[in-house]
Structures are given as structure tokens and as C-alpha cells.
A and B are shown apart, each in its own frame.
Chain A
Amino acid sequence: MTTVGGSEELQSDQHVDLMLNMGPQHPSTHGVFRMLLRVDGEVVLDAEPHIGYLHRGSEKLSEGEQYNQVITLFDRLDYISNFNNEWVYCRAVERLMGLEIPERAEYIRVILGELNRIASHLLFLGTFGLDAGAMTPVMFSFRGRERIQALFEAVSGARMMHNYFHIGGLKEDVPDNFPQLMTKLLSEIWVDVEECDKLLSFNEVFVARTKGVGAIDLETAIDYGWTGPCLRACGLEYDVRRAEPYSLYDRFDFDVPVGKDGDCWDRYFVRVLEMYQSLVIIEQALKDMPPGPVMALGRRLIRPPKGDVYVRAENPRGEIGVYLVSDGTDKPYRVKVRPPSFCSLSALRHLVKGAYIADAVVILGSLDIVLGEVDR
């Protein structure tokens, strides 16, 4: 069995596999991902992922920026869940400095982080629908996401690259009408999430396309380093918010949704259930939010003591880890990010082997990768 690119002379009875180049300019490779599929008719025999089209050297760039400036780089890693990224980096520096941040700031961080999780999962829901060929979910889910982004804009001044969580707390307090905004938003988002859920979750064709597709067993998923919703879809109740509660997560009452089969539909549905749980967390946080300062530090120039720290957090895509080394100057000596998308993506080859071309698209969509984070 030989593989040709297209130009060689072929014998008439020779069996040839087709090399199909998918991406980086393909509607459903979610950014600039590229995979080379070796296909036999419609069946994918092998897939070779190519990453790096969005490599910006964020980790190296971080070494040349002051601690507070690095936040903007973290905004641009996983550009779908900016707050969560800022948060984990700020926590790393704060841990290094042994800094306690004001309670109000923590509450606001939790609220914004969970809202961002919903926004991220809504985007996933819409694009996943598109991957499967449904055009309506994306319109419904982006409406909800747009509302969340409007709130982000009201709070931080930016819809996406917020630069709002600073080391020691927040850049500034939330606007005065924040509780009203949140009350209105929450009631709308409940409906939005539920609408998206009802629209797609049990759609017969959608179920046919996703249930049983791209299934992975728990052992293999752990071997690939999967975390987050993808891992939980395989049946393991592992959530950093629960396993190693950071910030205020030990104060809230919430479930960690878990799947069983580890296929595309489970990965999808775990995310849907997570959106409801995030709403539950936000409601609790909003109720308990105390007044007070939001910034623990009076100065902008930060010089953490010498040392290193590893901090992890539950991002919408899974467990993000930040390893930070300080040499005592105002710039980090080394920043290493452990991105969840990268680990999910590494299993792609395993998942798409033997699947159909259409499945390859759905499987890639179900991993919910963000190339900004994979390539860094």
C-alpha cells in the first residue's frame, strides 16, 4: 500500500491512499491548526497534526516584561477565556510573594472567571454545532456570549483582552451598578444556556453524529494528560476546583458533572452541565460578595522574592499550570505554561484513526482547542 501526493504515475490496479491536507485554512480546524489525513475513501487511516502556526513565543516574551505586563500575554494564550488565564498567572505571582488578596477581589475573580467559563463553553457549543453541520446553535450561543462580553466590557473596558486582574487584586473595582447588571445578565444567561441545550443536546442527527464517536477510555485519556471536561467525560471526577480548591471554591456548593463513555457527545454534554454549575456558583458568589478594597498592593513595580512556584487552575479547557521562576528582579526569569488544549490535542491522532473524515472534524471540535494556547 503506497501513498502518493498526486503526481506520480500509477498502475491501474494499484491501491493508493489519499493524502488529504486539512488546514491551516479550513473552516473547521478552529484557527490555524493543520492536519494531514491519510484516507482510504472516507476512512481516516492516519492523521498527522501540525501545530505552531500561531506560535508567538509568549513564554519567552514573558521573560522580557515586568510582572504586571505579563498579564497581557496571558490574555492572549487562551483567547476565549481571558479572565481564567489572567487569574492563574496572578495567583502564581501572589503565591510567590505570599500575598493575600482582598476578599472582594476574590469574589469578583470567581464571578468573572465562571462567567468566562460559560462564555467559552457557549462558544464551544456553537462551533461544535457548526462542525456537525448545524448552523443555528452558533447564532443562539453567541447571543449569550455577547451578553457576557457586554458585561466584561462594562467591568474591564474590553470585550476580550481585559488585563483586569492585576497582581494583588483587580485593576479597579467593578462599576456601581454591577449587582443590577449581574442580576439581569444571570436571568438572561439561564435562558440562553437552556435554549442552546434544548436546541442541540438531543437532536437526533446530532446524537447520531456524536454519540459513540471518538470514544477514549479513561486510562488512555490520563496517559495523554487530559484534564478538564474532556477527562471528566471519560468518567473521572477530577476538577482542580474540587481536588485542590483555590481562591474561594471551597465555599461554594456545586457539582462536578461527569460523563461515562468518553465520546464526543459526553464531552459536549459535560460542558453543557458545567455551564449550569457555573451559574450556580455565580449566584452564590454574588449573594456573599462583601464590600471593601480590591487591591492589596499599593505599588505597581513588583519584585517577588527569589524562588519558583507551580500553580494550577481549572480553565474551561482543563487544568492550566503555570511554572514561574523568579530571580528577584522585576521580570520573571522563566514562565512555563502547561496548556490543557495541547494535551487534549495530542490524543487527536489516536482518536481519528479509523474514523470517518466527517468524524475527524467533529472529534477535533469536541476537544475544544484554542490554538493560541496550544502554540503559545
Chain B
Amino acid sequence: MSAKEVLILILALLILFTALSIVVLSLVWIERKFLGRLQRRLGPTRTGPFGLIQPIADALKLVLKEDLIPSWADKAIFWVAPLLVLIPSFMIWVTIPATSDLALKNMDLGLFVIVALLVVSILGLLLAGWGSANKYGALGGLRAAAQLVSYEVPLVMVVVSIAILSQSLDLRVIAASQVPLDTAQPVLKEVMAAGGTFNHVGVPFVLIFPLGFVLFLIAGLAEVGRTPFDIYFAESEIVGGPFVEYSGAHWSVFFLAEYINTFLIAALAALLFLGGWYGPLLPEWFWFLLKTYLMVLVIFWIRGTFPRLRIDQLMAFGWKVMLPLSFAGVVITAVYRFYEWPAWSLSLMSLAILGVVGYWLYRRFTQPVIELAKAYGRHPGRTASAR
């Protein structure tokens, strides 16, 4: 590798980091504004037009704040932990293609690398909790370890299903195999020339494999610790968990990592299930960003709607519902591929599984409470809409 190549690489990494920082700033603004609208507030309005400068003000405040390190903390671990969370989440982005030819380093095993790197952040969270020598921190770190390990498995299983569907772990191929053949031609030709394999399906995987999409979204939310799975830093219980002793710039590193990860899950959902950067008329990067930001909005919407699960419920849901379902997903995709059934058969199977499980959950948990509410004397006739 010549000096020039190294220089270019460093420059590219810097550009990537800047881009991700801008993305995080935009996410902060969108989250505050969007949640505000969900809650019938305005969100930030005072800093710049529509409060656009607000994330910058937030970031400035964070960086200028005094960075406290508790005297009883394990200093080395305390320092390293935020980086251990940030670096993997940043490294993942090296392999994510934003358009058919825009990726820092496209890999044949891109999806594998992503899944492998996603696990590393557990270590950082655990160390952060442990190193800050705080009981809440330790509890949070252990929660994070349990949660992230549990939901890693369903996530991997969904990824395996996707690999079965597209016969590739290359994100470009996965995206290309979801669109009509003439649109996907350039990428697929390139892959064929390089001797790669693929299976062209022609429709976004969300249509033929909705089960996987739902599982991926749930497991992804758990992986990045967003509501309803924000259990390891649960503000109202363990007051920030691993981050409880962090402040200022150190805390903002965690914050950055969390938002990069959120964006990652949204981007992966777009790439794996929504046909990636492909779309009519408009440029590829636009479609990629549009789909990703739409997924981000869904994540924020969920945050505005749901309370937080309890740790035992989270584990039970992970191991008793998510894991069997994700295995079922692998089995039905494998069967579909092996017997070469038509695409609608897979979507039918997915929807049937989703429907059955959803109905079972409703009957088991929600319906009894609705019945109970009726018994307690809820008077629908007296409510405002009926008046």
C-alpha cells in the first residue's frame, strides 16, 4: 500500500466520520421535532429556523461540559469503554453501500462483518458499567450484555434467511436481487464477472418475507436499545445504566454511537428488505436516504408510543418468541428455496406465522384486560366522541 493510498483511505474515513456526524445531528433534530409533533408540542423552535441549530447547540453544550471521572472508577476501562462502543458502530459503516457504487469497502461477506461487529459494542457497554464502579452502572452493563446477546441470535437468523433468499452476503447483491432484472443488471453483471453467486427474486424482501422484516426490526431495536427495549439504560429505573457516571464529551461518544447504530438498523432494514437504493426516477442516494430516514421515523414513532419492557419479559420474549420465529423463518425460506415454490407462497407462510403469533399474543395478554375494563364499568356511551 503506497503512501498515497493510505492518505486516501484516511481522507475517506474522515469524510465518512463527518457524514455520520451530520447524520447524527440530523437524527437528533428529527427525533426532537418528530416526537414533539407526536406529543402535540412544537419541539425546538428557538435555535435557528425550525430549531435547526438545536443539535449543534446540544453538541456544543455536551463538549463544553466538565468531563467528570469518579475517583473510584477504573480509569483505563472508563476511558476505553466509550471508544469500544463507538468504533465498531463506525466500522460497520465502512461496509454499508449507500448506492450501487458508493461504499468505502464493499465486501463479499459484508453482512457477516456487520453482524460480527455489532456484537462488539456489548463489551464496551459492559466495561462502561463495570468501570464506573457504580451499582446502577453495573446493573445496566449486565442488562446490556444479557439483552444484546439474546437478541443477537434472532438477528443473525433473519440475516441467514436473507442470505438464503439472495444466495449472497454481499449487501450490493442483496439489494440488487430485490429489484427488477433490468434495473439490477449492472451490479449483478459485475458480481457474475467476479464469479459470485446470487439469486434474483425481483421484489423487495419485505413483500415476500414480512416475518423477517418484523423480526429484524424488533431485534434491531433491541440491539440498539431503543424503546421499548431501552432496558439497559432505563432512565426511570437505573438512571442511565452504563452511562450513569459519564458526562460531557465521554457521554456524547455513547450518544453518537447510539444514533449511528439507530441509523445503521434503519439502513440495514432498507438494504435487506426495502430494496436498498433502488427506486424510480430519482438518484440512488436519494432513495437510500429516503428509505433509511423513513425507517428511522418508524423507530422514533415506536419510541413515542411504547413504554419499556421489563428485563425478564424481554428475555422471555427473546428466547420464547423471537428465537423460534426466526428459526421458523430460516426453515420456510429454506423450504421455499429448495422446492423453488413461487414467491407468494413464502409471503403467505410468513403472514400466516405472523398472524397466528400476533393473534395468540393478543388473546393471551391484551384481550383479558379489555374484558376486565368492561367489567370495571367502562362507559363507552359517556365518552367524548359519543357525546
* Contacts from A to B (Cβ < 8 Å): 6, 18-21, 26-28, 41-42, 129-136, 139-140, 143, 187, 190-191, 194, 201-209, 211, 255, 257-261, 265-266, 269-270, 273, 276, 280, 356-359, 361
Contacts and interface: CB of A to CB of B under 8 A. Distances in A.
B38 interface: yes
A134 B377 CA distance: 26
Contacts of B312: 42, 356
A345 B125 CA distance: 35
Nearest to A43: B312
A140 B40 contact: yes
B310 A359 contact: yes
A132 B307 contact: yes
B366 interface: yes
Given A28-B237, A191-B384, A133 B230 contact: yes
B361 A255 contact: no
B3 interface: no
B52 to A, nearest CB: 22
Interface residues of B, number: 48
B337 interface: no
**Chain B contact residues: helix, strand, loop or mixed:** helix
B71 interface: no
8 contacts: A133-B307, A140-B40, A203-B307, A209-B309, A260-B375, A266-B376, A358-B231, A361-B237
Given A143-B40, A269-B376, A276-B382, A203 B365 contact: no
A207 B367 CA distance: 10
Nearest to B382: A276
Contacts of B65: none
B228 interface: yes
A65 B97 CA distance: 75
Given A133-B230, A191-B384, A208-B365, A140 B39 contact: yes
B231 to A, nearest CB: 8
Given A133-B236, A190-B384, A194-B385, A202 B369 contact: yes
Interface of B: 35, 38-41, 135-136, 139, 142-143, 227-228, 230-231, 234-239, 303-313, 361, 365-366, 369-370, 372-373, 375-379, 382-385, 387
Nearest to A280: B382
A28 B230 CA distance: 16
Contacts of B370: 202
A260 B376 CA distance: 8
A235 to B, nearest CB: 10
Contacts of B366: 202, 204, 207
B164 to A, nearest CB: 31
B236 A273 contact: no
B365 A207 contact: yes
B359 to A, nearest CB: 13
B371 to A, nearest CB: 11
A255 B313 contact: no
Contacts of B35: 135-136
A359 B383 CA distance: 31
Contacts of A202: 366, 369-370, 373
A285 B43 CA distance: 39
B234 A133 contact: yes
Nearest to B303: A135
